[in-house]
C-alpha cells in the first residue's frame, strides 16, 4: 500500500509567458528539523546486537551512527515527496506497489529500443510474476505526465547485481504506469518516465537514467533540492548533538578497563602508572630516539683471536 501526498493550498496564477508558477510552496525548516531529530531519537532508542570484540558500549555507538546514515535515504525519500507535493503542482505516491507484468519483461528482454518502448503501454492487470515497491510516483494530471523514481542516497556505488534489477524494474514499471494510475483515478496520463534520483551522485547508474542533486529542480520545474539539503543539514546537527552522549559511555568503559589493567600490572612499563596523562605524554615527546648502540665484541676477539 502506498501513501499519498498532496497540497491543498490554492494555486496562484501561472505566468503563461514563462510557463512557471509565480509562487511555489516549500516545506518548513521547522518540519525538516523535527523529522531529523525524530530519526536520530528513533535510532538511539533502537535495540542493537552486541559485538563481542568491541563490547556493548562501542557496539551501540557505532550501530546508532550507522543506523542514522542508512535512515538518511528514507528521510530523503519522504522529504522529496513532501517538497514535490508542497509545490502545488504534483500528487505523489510513496512506496506504490506496481506489478511487473510478463509482457513488460518480454519486451525488455527482447532489447527493444528506447523509442519503441516509449510508445508502448501495457495493462497493469495483465499476468505478472511479481510486485515491486517504487519509492516515488509523481503525477501532474493537468499536463498528463507521471514519473516513477527510486531514491538513492548515492554516497557509494550500488553493486551491479543490485543496480541492474533496479533499472529493469523501473523500465518495466514505466510500461504499465498509465494503466496503473488510471485504476487509481488518474485517467489522462499519456506521458511517463522513470529514473533514479541520486542525491550524492555516486550510486553508479548510467547518466542517462539518473537525476542528480543538481538536476532536481530543473527536472521537476519546482524547488526540491533546497529541502533535501536542509533536512540533511538538520540530520547532521541532530546526530552531532547526540555523539557526546553516545561516546561518553564508551570513554568511561575504556577508562575503567585501563584502570583494571594498570592495577594488575602496577610498576610495569616505561612510564609509572601513577604519572598524570600530561607527564606520560611528555615522557615520550621529550626523549630523543636512541639506536641499539655498538655491538659487544665476540668471545674470540676478547681472547685476542686465539683459536
Query: Looking at beta carbons, which pairs linking 23-30 to residues 24 or more positions away fall under 8 Å?
Result: 24/87, 24/88, 24/222, 24/223, 25/86, 25/87, 25/88, 26/83, 26/86, 26/223, 26/226, 26/227, 27/79, 27/82, 27/83, 27/86, 27/227, 29/230, 29/234
More confident: 283 or 242 = 242
Least trusted range by pLDDT, from 159-168, 186-195, 265-274: 265-274
User: For position 272, what pLDDT does the model report?
Assistant: 47
User: For position 304, what pLDDT does the model report?
Assistant: 57
List, for residues 19-62, the tens digit of each pLDDT value. Answer: 233 233 468 899 999 999 999 999 999 998 999 998 888 899 99
Q: Is 76 in contact with 199 (CB distance < 8 Å)? A: yes
Average pLDDT, the chain: 81
pLDDT bucket at 16, cuts 50 / 70 / 90: very low
Residue 118 reports pLDDT greater than 90: no
**Quick one: what percent of the chain has pLDDT higher than 90?**
51
Residue 78 reports pLDDT greater than 80: yes
User: For position 80, what pLDDT does the model report?
Assistant: 97
More confident: 53 or 104 = 53
User: For position 306, what pLDDT does the model report?
Assistant: 52
More confident: 15 or 241 = 241
Residue 145 reports pLDDT greater than 80: yes
- On whether the pTM is more than 0.85, the answer is no
Amino acid at each position: 500500500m502506498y501513501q499519498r501526498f498532496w497540497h491543498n493550498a490554492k494555486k496562484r496564477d501561472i505566468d503563461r509567458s514563462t510557463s512557471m508558477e509565480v509562487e511555489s510552496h516549500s516545506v518548513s525548516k521547522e518540519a525538516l528539523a523535527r523529522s531529523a531529530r525524530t530519526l536520530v531519537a528513533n535510532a538511539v532508542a533502537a535495540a542493537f546486537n552486541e559485538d563481542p570484540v568491541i563490547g556493548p558500549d562501542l557496539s551501540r555507538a557505532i550501530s546508532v551512527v550507522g543506523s542514522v546514515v542508512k535512515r538518511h535515504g528514507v528521510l530523503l525519500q519522504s522529504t522529496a515527496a513532501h517538497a514535490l507535493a508542497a509545490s502545488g503542482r504534483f500528487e505523489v505516491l510513496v512506496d506504490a506497489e506496481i506489478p511487473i507484468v510478463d509482457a513488460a519483461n518480454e519486451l525488455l528482454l527482447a532489447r527493444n529500443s528506447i523509442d519503441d518502448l516509449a510508445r508502448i503501454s501495457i495493462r497493469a492487470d495483465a499476468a505478472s510474476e511479481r510486485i515491486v515497491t517504487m519509492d516515488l510516483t509523481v503525477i501532474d494530471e493537468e499536463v498528463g505526465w507521471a514519473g516513477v523514481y527510486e531514491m538513492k542516497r548515492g554516497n557509494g556505488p550500488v553493486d551491479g547485481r543490485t543496480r541492474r534489477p533496479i533499472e529493469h524494474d523501473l523500465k518495466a514499471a514505466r510500461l504499465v504506469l498509465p494503466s496503473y494510475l488510471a485504476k487509481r483515478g488518474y485517467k489522462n496520463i499519456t506521458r511517463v518516465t522513470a529514473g533514479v534520483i541520486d542525491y550524492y551522485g555516486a550510486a553508479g547508474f548510467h547518466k542517462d537514467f539518473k537525476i542528480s542533486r543538481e538536476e532536481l529542480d530543473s527536472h521537476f520545474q519546482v524547488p526540491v533540492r533546497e529541502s533535501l539539503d536542509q533536512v540533511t543539514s538538520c540530520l547532521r546537527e541532530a546526530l552531532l548533538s547526540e555523539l557526546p552522549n553516545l561516546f561518553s559511555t564508551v570513554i568511561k568503559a575504556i577508562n575503567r578497563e585501563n584502570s583494571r589493567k594498570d592495577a594488575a600490572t602496577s610498576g610495569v612499563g616505561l612510564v609509572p602508572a601513577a604519572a598524570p596523562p600530561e607527564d606520560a605524554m611528555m615522557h615520550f615527546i621529550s626523549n630523543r630516539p636512541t639506536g641499539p648502540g655498538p655491538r659487544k665484541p665476540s668471545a674470540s676477539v676478547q681472547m685476542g683471536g686465539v683459536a
